[in-house]
Amino acid sequence: MKFLFDLFPVILFFVSYQIAGSHSEAATAIANQWLGHDIAAAQAPILIATGVAIVATFAQIGWLLARGRKVDTMLWVSLGLIVVFGGATLFFHDATFIKWKPTILYWLFSTSLLVSSAVFNKNLIRSFMEAQIKLPDEIWARLNAAWIVFFATMGFLNLYVAFEFPEATWVKFKLFGGMGLMFAFVIAQSMFLGKYIEEDKQ
């Protein structure tokens, strides 16, 4: 359930983009009514989807706060980025900004892991996972490095798809491609850690 909750804005972004694209006239009218005039039909879906994603992210945090639950740092960071880059997309009517948002988020994760390890000698991946599994120091270091490379690569991959393929392809990649690659990476990581989990059980 938490996985779906975290994906809530991304799912709504995808769904609203598809609906707006299927109802071009209505989407254009709504975009012109709420975001100013002279918005072309081709621009309306991404602008509406961006607005929906911003509202959805605020709703996520509001729901957690209303129930007295802790809001993860990642969610606060995501809110800041969607407000800045999504807001710029809506203000300038330019999808370039929202296309950069996932890359900036990926690179922030990658940089945080790298700086924490290299400067502060702290392995964040170990901090998150060591309560569940015991690993040799060398494996923790390799695991941290793997996540650094993964997030950095995902940032570049997002830019490649965003600016080398049609907008609709990028929207699909944002949900299915990004999450699919993340899932595949976690599965591969689990297989790599399998022998250490068995040793820990013994």
Based on the domain organization, do 140 and 63 belong to the same domain? no
pLDDT tens, N- to C-terminus, the chain (202 residues): 565 677 889 999 999 999 999 999 999 999 998 887 788 889 999 999 999 999 999 999 999 999 998 888 889 999 999 999 999 999 999 999 999 999 999 999 999 999 999 998 899 988 888 777 788 888 889 999 999 999 999 999 999 999 999 999 999 999 999 889 999 998 988 888 776 665 554 5
DSSP assignment of 68-97 = TPPPPHHHHHHHHHIIIIIHHHHHHT-THH
- Do 172 and 10 touch, CB atoms closer than 8 A? no
Instruction: Say yes or no: 111 and 199 in one domain.
Output: yes
Radius of gyration of the chain (CA): 19
Q: How far is CA 68 from CA 8, 61, 65, 77, 191, in A?
A: 19, 11, 5, 19, 36
Instruction: State residue 192's pLDDT score.
Output: 80
End-to-end CA distance of the chain: give it in Å, rounded: 31
pLDDT digit string (tens) for 105-119?
999 999 999 999 999
Picking from 94, 127, 154, the residue at the C-terminal end of a domain is: 94
75 with 99, same domain: the answer is no
How many domains, in total, are found in the chain? 2
153 lies in the same domain as 84: no
Residue ranges in the chain assigned as alpha helix (H): 2-6, 8-22, 24-35, 44-66, 73-81, 87-92, 96-118, 124-129, 137-164, 167-172, 178-201
What's the rounded Cα separation, in Å, for the pair 6 and 112? 20
CA distance 97 to 155: 14
* pTM, entire model: 0.88
| Residue 77 contacts residue 108 (beta carbons within 8 Å) | yes
Domain end: 30, 65, 94, which one? 94
pLDDT at 2: 62
Q: What residue numbers bound the domain in which 158 lies?
A: 95-202
172-177 contact pairs (CB < 8 A, 24+):
172/14, 174/10, 174/13, 174/14, 174/102, 175/7, 175/10, 175/11, 175/13, 175/14
Whole-number pLDDT of residue 196: 67
